[in-house]
Structures are given as C-alpha cells and as structure tokens.
Structure 1
C-alpha cells in the first residue's frame, strides 16, 4: 500500500481554524494592553507636576495627552508545498554459457532478478503574521475631561 495518501491527509489537515482563532485572541489581548497603557499614561500626565513661572501645572493642563493606538488589520499567511514520488523498478538479467571440452558439453545458466520500490516525500512550509497599528485621536469623552482639567486654575507653589 502506498504511503502517499496518508502523507497527503496529514499535510492537508493543518489547524487553520485554530491559527485564526489564536490570531484574533492575540490581537484582542494586544489591543487591551495598548488601551490600558494609554489610560495609565493619562493618569501619569495628570499627576506629573511642572513648575512654570512660579506656578505648578500638570502635563494635561499644558496640552499633553496620551497616545491611543488601534489594530486596523491582522493577516496570517501560510504557504505549504509538497511533492511525493513513488517509483518501482524491476530488473531481470539472464545469461548462458556453453562450453565444449574433449567431447563433454557443459551448460551454465544464470538468472538475476531485482525489485526496488522507492518513496520520496518532501514538504516545505512558510508562515507569516502581520498586523497594522495606527494612531487614533483621543476619545471624545476623555478629551472633554482633559479640557476641564486644563481650565482649572494653577496650583500655587508651596515653599
């Protein structure tokens, strides 16, 4: 029985749904981490004080704002190439020798049979994952909060 069909079945049964699912979960986890980082940056900007002209200002009041990012696309690409060969070789050689010596006839015959069955399977695969990340404007509600904070009077410097 040939091994070619079993190899073909194994190569074709790649876990594509699981790969796509894992990519989606990885993008969602990465997006969540980016959002958390932006929120932490906003809190750090609100608590960071800078003295200018004898008055203290937080960085939000000076117009700094956290950066927000979003994944706009994610692509998984897999390429697989394989080749399979099966060859059968059968060889038969025969020979005969006849010799005569002083009235005696000698006959010799030889038969050589060979059989070979060869299998060859090669497989190559490449994969890549790409994601596109873009900067987003500050969310509208956060921008309103930041504007309210920037309108507060500066905190006087205490000696």
Structure 2
C-alpha cells in the first residue's frame, strides 16, 4: 500500500463522532456542576445572617439570589492540512575514450547511472473547542418560593 493511501485512510477515519459525543457529555457535566454550585450558593445565602435595625435576616430574605449560568453554544473546530510528494530522478552519463599509440588502440568506456526516489510527507493540524456561557436570572419557581416565604413573615428573621 502506498504512503499516500495510508495517510489518506488515517485522515478519513478520524473519530469525529466520538469528539462530538465527548463535547456534549463534557458540557452536560459542566452544566450540572454549575447548577450544583448555584444551589450551594443559595444554601449559603440562606445561612448567612445579616443584622439590620436590631433584627437578623438572611441574604435571601433581603433579596439576594445566587447567579445561575447556562451554556448557550459550543463549537468544535478541527483543521488538518497535509501534503505529500514523491519524486523520482534518474540520470545516465556515458563517456568513451580512445587512444592510438604505435598501432595499439586503447578504448575505454565509462557509464555512470544514478537513481533517486524521494518521498516527502508533511501534516499540520489544529483544533479548538469554544463554549459560550451566559448568566441567567434565577428560575421563576425559585423566586416564587422566596416571595411566598417573604410574605409569610421573613424567614431567617429572629423575631
């Protein structure tokens, strides 16, 4: 099998579906970690006391909410360029020398043959993965629970 065929087959069999699958799974795992972080921040805000006017409140009852984030876009980009060349060089040179000296003839012949075959393969590749992350408002259900709790008498207040 020629070198060109081998390199071409390697390029065609690149694991693009696996790369896309791994990107999707990585984003899902990252999104779950971001969501868990927002929940932990909400819990920490509920447990953080703030004293105002002789009364103690937690940060949630004062209107603070944790930040929520979401991935809105992900891009995988792969670039590959390669070049291959094969050259063959053949050269032949011949020479004949003849001398006549006192009736004796001397003849010499020389033949110089050279053959060169050169292969050259170069490949360059680059890849990048980009993801866009945006801040979102707290979920409406979360805000609704906070409103109900607030209306029921400011939980977290030491009355």
TM-score range, shorter chain: over 0.9
State the shift of 1:149 in Å: 2.9
State how far apart, in whole Å, the 1-side matches of 2:137 and 2:99 are.
103
Deviations 1:90-122 (A, max 9, x none): 111111101111221100001111111111000
Matched, 1:52 2:52: yes
Deviation at 1:2, TM superposition (A): 2.8
1:1-159 equivalences in 2 (<5 Å): 2-151=2-151, 152-153=153-154, 154-156=157-159
- d(CA) in 1 for partners of 2:76 and 2:3? 30
Cα distance in 2 between the residues matched to 1:127 and 1:115: 41
CA distance in structure 2 between the aligned counterparts of 1:81 and 1:142, rounded to whole angstroms: 51
Instruction: Give the gaps of 5 or more residues in structure 2.
Output: none
CA distance in 2, matches of 1:10, 1:31: 34
Does structure 2 conserve the Cα–Cα contact (< 8 Å) formed by 1:97 and 1:109? Answer: yes
Deviates more, 1:108-117 or 1:142-151: 142-151
Indicate the RMSD between aligned Cα atoms, in angstroms. Answer: 1.1
The superposition leaves residues 113-157 of structure 1 with CA deviations (integer Å, 9 ceiling, x where unpaired) of 11111110000001010001111111111111112233324314x
Instruction: Return 5+ residue gaps in structure 1 as ranges.
Output: none
Q: CA deviation at 1:12?
A: 2.2
Say whether the 8 Å CA contact 1:60–1:149 is kept in structure 2. no
Alpha-carbon contact 1:62-1:150 (below 8 Å) kept: no
